[in-house]
Chains A and B, each alone.
Chain A
């Protein structure tokens, strides 16, 4: 049985605890942000699922992913018209605007108004006037981004698939083409460029192919 000096014990505890953390960090297994997956991929809002919207996401991400003009979003929630598109949702929270309200609005916004309604006759027994009442139940639908549209989750591979030449992409982004599987928005943000500008330019290139 070996005896350990209490001071040595303390240093050993420090060494093991922080050594473990440093070892994980060295292996690339470390993130203090909820904005990336365990694999290091950026977490993005998904057009088909509003529950993927997080408070830290920016208005620009929402606008791009759900194809909502920023001005319309700001106007609907009575937010200042000059609100920067890079503002996080949670930084704008108020009595009328938060993540849940935004999700609900996006869902309601994508629902068709008339053509996809189900009409359900209600039993006339409960209606004194004997007049059939129609109860309308809107069918929930997923938001569908038009084909060949550059969004916040479009990859360079998709651009190539849509017929945009590598040269055209390189011209727009102003640097070499990264790995085709890279999400354009991630690449542009990483390079410190303005995504809406690049997106518009790339969309122009895509439209030329139509």
Chain B
């Protein structure tokens, strides 16, 4: 069996392009999109801080570009015939529509390819991986931390349900009370308003998220993001999914280790998890041709 696997992997092994061609891959494209998205928001934050909305200059609040604001204001918008709750704009509803349509076709691709908060968590995880590669002492320290925290892994599957509670609370709360009950706890809102030096619980959530990102990849996305929860639910209807070809797979677990959402890719046949953010890191990292691919079909079930 071992010989067969090795033989298979050698014959089907992906050939990694060298030189400039090595840059022509989806990882680079994904990072470029994420960077562009983050720089755009950063520009709005800085511009808004320096010029101010009331200056008469053509400034825009970065909050106008948060899709989740659209979900929070949706009930009032429908019920009142077009009125929006405070801090939301028509653009929030349009972005929500864009996120959900994208999810309907390509699962939670917004989370994996565009979301700036996801990108920040990715950057911190990349920093940790870089440090692990360079400093063996740090690598050993991280290994001991993982070993120490291993018993907590049992909580993972339950903590993943928290984001659906956050989704329900924030949407129902906004509908009942007429304002964004989630806003003060929202790490994204805290981040884009950080220049106002206003202390909110969201700042604490942001700090916890950023620190946790060093140890667990995308902790906010995994456990608490309500937009990711909504996107994942809609994405369940998407015809796009990942297919693991058991006959080609060598069960090397590289895909599972590459998954920022911590999904057990190497044991699945079709990956249609609500938590999958379609970053395709697993596909990129898979060393065998045809073992893991993106497919279009009408498979509603799968891990």
Contact = CB atoms under 8 A, between A and B. Distances in A.
Nearest to B296: A2
Interface stretch (A84-92, A137-145, A148-156, A165-173): A84-92
A38 B88 CA distance: 11
Interface string B117-143: 000000000000000000000000000
A128 interface: no
B91 A30 contact: yes
B182 interface: no
A10 interface: yes
Contacts of A3: 293-295
Given A9-B26, A9-B280, A13-B109, A33 B89 contact: yes
B54 A32 contact: no
Nearest to A11: B29
A20 interface: yes
Interface stretch (B99-107, B165-173, B221-229): B99-107
A100 interface: no
A13 B82 contact: no
Contacts of A38: 77, 82-84, 90
Contacts of A21: 94-95, 98
A1 interface: yes
Given A29-B90, A30-B94, A56-B54, A7 B26 contact: yes
A13 B111 CA distance: 11
Contacts of B33: 10, 14
A77 interface: no
B280 A13 contact: no
Interface string B280-296: 10011000000001111
A23 to B, nearest CB: 9
Interface of B: 24-26, 29-30, 33, 52-56, 60-61, 64-65, 77, 82-84, 86-91, 94-95, 97-99, 101-102, 105-106, 109-110, 113-114, 240, 243, 278, 280, 283-284, 293-297
